[in-house]
Amino acid sequence: MQKPTIYFHSNIISPRVTYTIDFIFKQVLHWDVHVSSDISEIPKNSLFINYSEENYSNALHIFPHGLLFQNGIDPTVVTSMHDVVDKIKTGNFNVDIFSFIFFCISRYEEYVDGHKDKMGRFISDHSILYDNNHGLAPWVDITIRWIFETLNNKYPSHELTSGMTYKLISTVDIDQAWQYANKGVYSVAGVVKSLIALKFKNSFYRLKSIFKPASDPYYQYETIDKFHIQNDIPRPIYFFLLAKRRNTYDKNHKSSNRALIRLIKGLSQNHTIGIHPSYRSHKNIKILKSEKASLEKILNTTVEHSRQHYLKMNIPSTYRSLLEIGIHHDYSMGYADRIGYRAGTGYAYLWYDLENERVTELWVHPFQVMDVTLQKYMGLKTNEAMEYFKDLVKMARQYHTPLSILWHNSSLCDQGVWKGWKGVYAYFLKIGK
Name the residue ranges covered by the structural domains of the chain: 5-158, 168-178+219-432, 180-216
pLDDT at 45: 87
Q: State which fold the 168-178+219-432 domain adopts.
A: TIM Barrel (3.20.20)
- CA neighbor of 338 nearest in space, from 36, 191, 136, 126: 136
Rounded to the nearest 5°, which phi and psi values hold at 48?
A: -135, 125
Q: Is 22 exposed, middle or buried (0-12, 13-18, 19+ CB in 10 A)?
A: middle
Name the stretches of the chain with pLDDT < 50.
185, 187-192, 195, 198, 200, 211
pLDDT at 195: 43
Contact 219, 178 (CB under 8 A): yes
pLDDT at 133: 84
- CA neighbor of 71 nearest in space, from 352, 344, 313, 319: 352
pLDDT at 186: 54
SS percent in the chain: helix, strand, coil, step 5: 45, 15, 40
Nearest-angstrom CA–CA distance, 177 and 309: 15
The model's pTM is 0.94
Q: List the 32-36 sheet strands across, edge first.
A: 32-36, 5-10, 47-51, 60-61
pLDDT at 371: 99
Contact 148, 160 (CB under 8 A): yes
pLDDT at 191: 43
Q: Is 378 exposed, middle or buried (0-12, 13-18, 19+ CB in 10 A)?
A: middle
Cα distances (angstroms) measured from residue 349 to each of 38, 74, 102, 313, 358: 28, 23, 11, 17, 14
pLDDT at 180: 83
pLDDT at 205: 54
What residues contact residue 316 under an 8 Å CB cut-off, 6+ apart? 111, 353, 354, 355
